[in-house]
Amino acid sequence: MAHVILALLVLFTTCQANRPPGDRSHYVFRGDSRSPEQIRAAGGLFPLSSTNWDSPGTYSLLYHAEGSTRSGGYVSTSASFGQAAGNFAGAGSWVYRIHLTDNMISVNEALTTSPYPEQREMAALGGGPMECYPGLVAAASLTERYETQFERLFTPNPDYHDEGYDGATVQTSADADVAVLAASDPGTVLGDLQNAAVRFMNGHGETTKTTRFRGAVVLLAACSSLRQFRSRGPIKREAKEKTVALTPGLKAMCSIISPRLAPWQYGGKQNHGCPFSCHSDFTSKTPYPPQCEETFGTEIFCSHENDDWVCLSQRRAPRFVDQKLKSCTKSRAFDCLNTENCVGTEQWCSDGYNSTRATWSTVSREQCFRRRGRKDPNAVCSTIESLEVGFSVARDKDGSNDAIIFSVGRHLMLLAEKPKDGDSVVKDVDLGEAFGSKTVSLAHVDRIRLLDKPIGDPSGANDWYLGGLNLTAKCHGSSEVIAITKYSSLQEKMVHGPGFEIEEVWALDIKPGDWQPIR
């Protein structure tokens, strides 16, 4: 456990009245490795700066809860002090005490099946500023004693501003927009995820009791409020527009949609000729005339708009085209016929050399498949329920006189003691020990290590050769099995430095894209 923990009371989007000690129904916790000074310098607790606000998946509550993306639009908090401290803070980190706000969603209630129900997560869409926290406390341990001992140790914080705001509640699936954000199959609602986020934040991102705007950089997505502030004098208008300028994606959400950009099919359709006006250079950013959208499809058409995300978000998702049309032929002058209904969706969405979409569109392969409600055939599952590691010592090379230990997450497991050349072993990894749950997001399996511990040899460790290492996992809720096998034949020399301490001799950072289906 952390030796010293500082618990700060932070109000997210709206400051509320100070609560008496023990009123636990009105606050949550967040464990974070950043200090209060770092959080304060960042302006608050917000999603990562790398968050792609133009991606519909950013707003999916399921993708956030599964950890499918590390740059989603939510900030995690927990109703459990122990979860925040033990699972997310760790030794030397911090636990922040946060009042409930209207932009928080109960993950367990909103999702049909929450991947980690024990975390009791309240996800705050867009996070919020570190402006109002009534007190702080230094705690010696992170046990249930917090309830009775640490609660009354909070001391006043001079930076806190109590404007008497109250009445915030956590949102559930009873809210129509939360139901969209928490869809069990986000691929079926990708076309409406951003719009649902806008509507949700319009209704919950800024309380009607607000009397002044603080200029915090927070995802409000309150377009009606933005228009309202524009008519209330230069000071408030400047503050509001400054927030819009500094908040990624907010300007796009508040853009006026041109009436000429009517909903249509994404991938284009067969044409027996190409209008001359559609022959302009694909690489330019000059918008196409409206008739060109029907010529080569929305995904290319919108890539030429000033705001491609706004353009795409206003269009209905197309149907999946299973087979290409035999009647399609290429134009000699211009490849207007290499459209989705001619080549089929799988080729249209692919990143192959002849993919018109991959060459001329800003839409990724994954987004292309998801918009059509189909899974990328080259993608793997996002959550696993079992994991095993295969390890071997190189043949005809030196074996080891040491203990070889495998590390993943928080788990260390013995692979072999004094393995000889050519020895191999396959062992199951205890996901509960490694990650605190029997089902784990694939994104969390992001680093593996081999450790070497000299045993029984007075001369210390000896050098040995790693033959290979592979990982195999079973996808949660399905029979799909995935693996990382490209490190199965390494033949690399492992060197332990002087001494008899345990030492890392090999490590690897892995990404979800490294996994491949095997059956």
The predicted-structure confidence for 203-249, as pLDDT tens digits, reads as follows: 665 442 222 222 222 223 333 333 333 333 333 333 333 333 333 33
* More confident call, 143 vs 478: 478
The predicted-structure confidence for 479-491, as pLDDT tens digits, reads as follows: 788 999 999 999 8
Reply yes or no on whether the pLDDT at 112 is more than 80. yes
Domain 27-214 matches domain 383-517 at the CATH topology level:
no
Query: Is residue 196 a contact partner of residue 59, using CB atoms and an 8 Å limit?
Result: yes
DSSP label of 461: -
As given in the structure block, the two tokens for residue 415 are 């692979």
Could you name the CATH architecture of 27-214?
Alpha-Beta Complex (3.90)
How far apart are alpha carbons 447 and 478 in whole angstroms?
Answer: 24
For 93-128, the three-class secondary structure string (H helix, E strand, C coil) is CEEEEEECCCCEEEHHHHCCCCCCHHHCEEEEECCE
**What is the per-residue DSSP string for 303-370?**
GGSSSHHHHHHTSPPPPP--S--TT----SS--TT-SHHHH-HHHHHS-STT-HHHHH-S--HHHHHH
DSSP label of 132: B
- Say which CATH topology domain 383-517 has: Lipoxygenase-1 (2.60.60)
Question: Could you report how far apart the first and last alpha carbons of the chain are, in Å?
Answer: 41
How far apart are alpha carbons 232 and 230 in whole angstroms?
Answer: 6
* More confident call, 420 vs 456: 420
CA distances from 272 to 165, 329, 331 (A): 63, 9, 8
Query: Is residue 466 a contact partner of residue 506, using CB atoms and an 8 Å limit?
Result: yes
How far apart are alpha carbons 268 and 318 in whole angstroms?
Answer: 10
Q: Which of 46, 32, 8, 27 is nearest to 216 (CA)?
A: 46
How far apart are alpha carbons 397 and 422 in whole angstroms?
Answer: 8
The predicted-structure confidence for 43-74, as pLDDT tens digits, reads as follows: 677 888 777 777 778 889 998 888 876 668 88
Query: Is residue 85 a contact partner of residue 1, using CB atoms and an 8 Å limit?
Result: yes
DSSP label of 390: E
Domain spans in the chain, listed from the N-terminal domain onward: 27-214, 262-371, 383-517
What single letter denotes the amino acid at residue 409? G
Of the pLDDT bands very low, low, confident and very high (cuts 50, 70, 90), residue 93 is: low
As given in the structure block, the two tokens for residue 222 are 């309150």
The predicted-structure confidence for 292-302, as pLDDT tens digits, reads as follows: 777 777 888 88
pLDDT at 143: 40
pLDDT at 484: 93
* More confident call, 121 vs 152: 121
* More confident call, 353 vs 113: 113
* More confident call, 515 vs 302: 515
CA-CA-CA-CA dihedral for 311, 368, 108, 209, to nearest 10: -10
pLDDT at 426: 95
Lowest mean pLDDT among 176-180, 307-311, 502-506, 512-516: 307-311
* More confident call, 77 vs 233: 77
Mean pLDDT computed over 88-111 = 75
Mean pLDDT computed over 507-512 = 89
How far apart are alpha carbons 234 and 256 in whole angstroms?
Answer: 22
Mean pLDDT computed over 274-302 = 72
Phi, psi of 389 (to 5 degrees): -120, 135
The predicted-structure confidence for 417-454, as pLDDT tens digits, reads as follows: 999 999 999 999 999 888 888 888 888 898 999 999 88
Q: Which of 197, 179, 191 is nearest to 248 (CA)?
A: 197
As given in the structure block, the two tokens for residue 275 are 């209008």
CA distances from 306 to 251, 302, 309, 364 (A): 12, 8, 9, 18
Q: Can you tell me whether residue 292 is helix, strand or coil?
A: helix
